[in-house]
A and B are shown apart, each in its own frame.
Chain A
Amino acid sequence: MKFQRLLAAPLLVVLSTLLIGAVEARPLRVGITLHPYYSFVANIVGDRAEILPLIEAGNNPHNYRPRAEDMRRVMNMDVLVVNGIGHDEWAFEIIQAAGREEKLPLIYANSGVPLIPIAADEGEAKVVNPHTFVSVTVAIQQIYTIARELGKLDPDNAVFFRKNARDYTLKLRRMKAKFMGELVKLNTSNLRCATMHGAYGYLMQEFGLQVVAVIEPRHGVSPTARQLGNTIDKIKAANVNVLFAEKFFASNLADTIREATGISMYAFSHMSDGDYSPELFERETRANLETLVKAMRVINTETSASATES
């Protein structure tokens, strides 16, 4: 009996050590709220962390209502990467409902991002644009923030995360440079563009293009008939010649605007559709930049034609 007692104590110590080791060795479970954050985290952590989307793919993040299964998912996360400036407010409802407000570390991807207003009109009240993920330049800022904060939670992999972040951002920057190279050859001085949704302010800003008007009066809110009429007047007054709408956007509103104004329309990705994947951000950004180049080529041709006529 005495021998058994003597044996039990070291055995317990060994078992506890093994258990603690097993827990520590478990890769970090990183939660994300929006599609681009899945891509950012996947490219930073490689195979050294697990990524858990907070909500299932296929839901619209603009009007998402939390569900019971979201709470189960949030319980399994070690950390959650959030937009935190208005595009994933439902995440905070889920965290609160799951009782993890004090226990779940949050990475605010936008903490160091200089925000710009959503309103295109300088005379209007300035409202923060939360779509910092639909842009290469501002995405890079977020990638560095996420890599730094994940490195604090997993110091053994901090150098690995940082290196991956740098490689990924250079890859993104090179992609942007390729399209910049195409755009710089075109004469875009006649471009006067409007966007259907406020999502593309950062994207247009990084290409030096200014948005004259945003059609939706507020984020995710369709304009009333009167607001639509005002917008059509604004488009005409500002001599807008291109409207960028959203992929999968209900086209009746866009058709009304096109018929009333005669402007060209193109569709951008909001990056919140389809399955979560490491490649999504690059793929959708490339598609957006191809669309931009296509629109600019049309503007360039029109500009050249009008120059020839005059």
Chain B
Amino acid sequence: MSAAVNTAQAISTVRPRSGRQETLTIGAVFLGILIVAGVAISQRQVANPLPRLYDWQLSAFYDLSKTDQAIHTSLVTAIPELWLLHADMLSLQKRGKSKETWPDIKQLAEYYYVAPFAQDLFWTQNGSVKWTRVTAFSFEGSTVYHGYAGTADRQSAYLVVLSHAHKGATFNSVGNIWMHPNPNAPAPNTVVRDSLIRSGWKQVVPYSGEIERKRIRS
């Protein structure tokens, strides 16, 4: 009997190790790594150089059909040309040699060969768009060239709005391009932004070399 008691007294309960301590330690280390990595990644993130577009804007790079993209490229190049011709014509007007201050479509197409106004292969391949210079906006200080009736697939109507905010900086290229999904959309009565938007026009935002440069170097 006494032997049994002694045996009972000698037994001590040994609990298996749960590994709880190690689990907690490893968990803490993982958490630490995650926090450090998260902070490091957030610090290394590059600001997206792409312009944030509103729903009334289109990206020339991502959103346009090939025809619209081609016309947009040619219009962007035409804008500085239009300003230079405007400066020449203002100078001629001061000397009494010109009544107009902006080139008309015939001049652009037949003398200066400016795309997309010139009726060449580019013109026929890109829907033979009809162009007019709209002068009714002179009270708003803008000159507008309107392109419509294009026949290519997924073709838009076009507006080039040249703002007179350029005063004193004639060798400048300030101009906005707008497109309308209906290729026969008429010229608007005003070029006030909200009114254009209400009429279904969308401003086209180019993906310029400047944006790409920032993306590469950031």
Contact = CB atoms under 8 A, between A and B. Distances in A.
Interface of A: 84-86, 89, 92, 108-117, 122, 126, 128, 132, 137-138, 140-141, 144, 148, 151, 162, 166, 169-170, 173-174, 176-177, 180-181, 183-184, 188, 202, 205-210
A148 B212 contact: no
B112 interface: yes
A115 B77 contact: no
Given A114-B206, A173-B113, A137 B73 contact: yes
A170 B124 CA distance: 22
A141 to B, nearest CB: 5
Contacts of B76: 112-114, 141
B177 to A, nearest CB: 9
B82 to A, nearest CB: 12
B121 A144 contact: no
B112 A112 contact: no
Contacts of B72: 114
Contact of B120 (A108, A116, A126, A180): A180
B69 interface: yes
B61 A117 contact: yes
Contacts of A122: 66
B208 A113 contact: yes
Interface residues of B, number: 37
A206 B74 contact: yes
Interface of B: 60-62, 66, 69-70, 72-74, 76-77, 80-81, 84, 112-115, 118, 120-126, 171, 173, 206-210, 212-213, 216-217
Q: Give me the 6 closest cross-chain CB pairs, A-B, nearest first.
A: A208-B125, A110-B209, A180-B120, A114-B206, A177-B113, A208-B122
Contacts of A176: 113
B120 A140 contact: no
Given A115-B208, A117-B61, A141-B76, A110 B122 contact: no
Given A137-B74, A176-B113, 13 more contacts: A112-B210, A114-B208, A116-B73, A128-B61, A138-B77, A141-B76, A144-B173, A169-B81, A177-B118, A180-B113, A184-B121, A205-B69, A208-B70
B84 A166 contact: yes
Contacts of A109: 209
A116 B64 CA distance: 10
A210 B60 CA distance: 17
Contact of B209 (A113, A117, A126, A174): A113
Contacts of A170: 112
Contacts of A126: 61-62
A202 B209 CA distance: 14
A85 B126 contact: no
Contact of B213 (A108, A138, A141, A162): A108
Contacts of B115: 137, 206
Contacts of B61: 114-117, 126, 128
A86 B216 CA distance: 8
8 contacts: A108-B210, A110-B209, A113-B209, A116-B69, A144-B173, A173-B113, A205-B66, A205-B69
Given A126-B61, A207-B121, A207-B122, A173 B212 contact: no
A141 B77 contact: yes
A112 B79 CA distance: 11
